[in-house]
Amino acid sequence: MTKPIPDKAEVAIEFPEKLYIGTFERNARFDAHFDDAGIAVALRQSGSAETRKTVRMHFHDLLFAEILGELAKSAGELPPAHEAHREALGKAAEQLYLSLSRSRFDDLSTLKPEDEVRLLHILE
């Protein structure tokens, strides 16, 4: 299911002899979901043949996990201009964590102590 892009995305694909650059703004749409092999993301700009464009990316799970880890390491370095986005990013990360953990937390008797602590912090 596609959704409107709430902000802006810029894509650059660089080859030895070519450079492709595209911008997707609020009138464009996106789709992101898990599939059997990882994470699929698509950005779509509709319109005339001159303005229509689509970018599709697919990341296997372990690469996406590494990307999230690198983002976590640099989150503390966000400049003040990004301060307004911290809450939205944090809520989305929490939602992803809860969704990934849901099956582990279905039977609370199997929680490990560190999962109990994590769940308590999330629920606060």
Domain parsing of the chain, residue ranges: 1-60, 78-124
Reported as a single tens digit per residue, the pLDDT across 64-117 is 999 999 999 998 888 877 777 888 888 899 999 888 887 555 566 666 777 777
The model's pTM is 0.74
Residue entry with tokens 């689509």: 54
Is the CB of residue 44 less than 8 Å from the CB of residue 54? Answer: yes
What torsion do the CA atoms of 74, 75, 80, 81 make, to the nearest 10 degrees? 100
pLDDT (tens digit, 9 = 90+) per residue, 17-76? 999 999 999 899 999 999 998 999 999 999 898 889 999 999 999 999 999 999 999 988
C-alpha R_g of the chain: 18
Contact, 20 vs 13, CB < 8 A? yes
**pLDDT of residue 6 exceeding 80:** yes
Whole-number Å distance between alpha carbons of 36 and 77: 34
